[in-house]
Amino acid sequence: MKKFRIDENERERILNMHIEATKKQYLSESVINEQPYFLSPQETFQIQSGLNDYFKNKGVKIQVVADGAWGPKTIEALKKFQQLEGLESDGKMGPKTMAKLKEVGINEDIIDKLVKFFSGMFK
């Protein structure tokens, strides 16, 4: 069997191609699943932590693992938040949900960033 060797530049180019392809796949899957692909893991962590504090203050026995990963448990927690705040309980980070998160004091800086992000899309 013949072994192929590549130089460092070629290795770097191939690695970057892989990273870009992975990003595109991640974004397209996120859009299909209607998950907030625009949130970084740190921002997701802050929202998860904020939801945990919110539920604790409300006496609701729900806790999300604040790990920065947007998964089914986070979506379920967001649905419960929406239900408690009189919103459509769909688990999506839409404008009404973002406004309500800001109103109750969950990560106002992130919500401001997202509002700017979305308003820039529609200019």
- Portion of the chain with pLDDT greater than 70, in percent: 63
Give start and end residues of each alpha helix (H) in 4-107: 8-32, 41-58, 72-84, 95-103
Higher pLDDT, 103 or 38: 103
pLDDT in tens, 52-103: 999 999 999 999 988 888 888 899 999 999 999 999 999 888 888 888 998 9
pTM confidence score: 0.64
Phi, psi of 86 (to 5 degrees): 75, 25
Is residue 23 included in any domain, yes or no? no
- Overall domain count for the chain: 1
Range of the domain at 70: 41-121
Q: Mean pLDDT in the chain?
A: 77
Q: What is the CATH number of the domain that holds 63?
A: 1.10.101
Task: Identify the pLDDT of residue 36.
Answer: 67
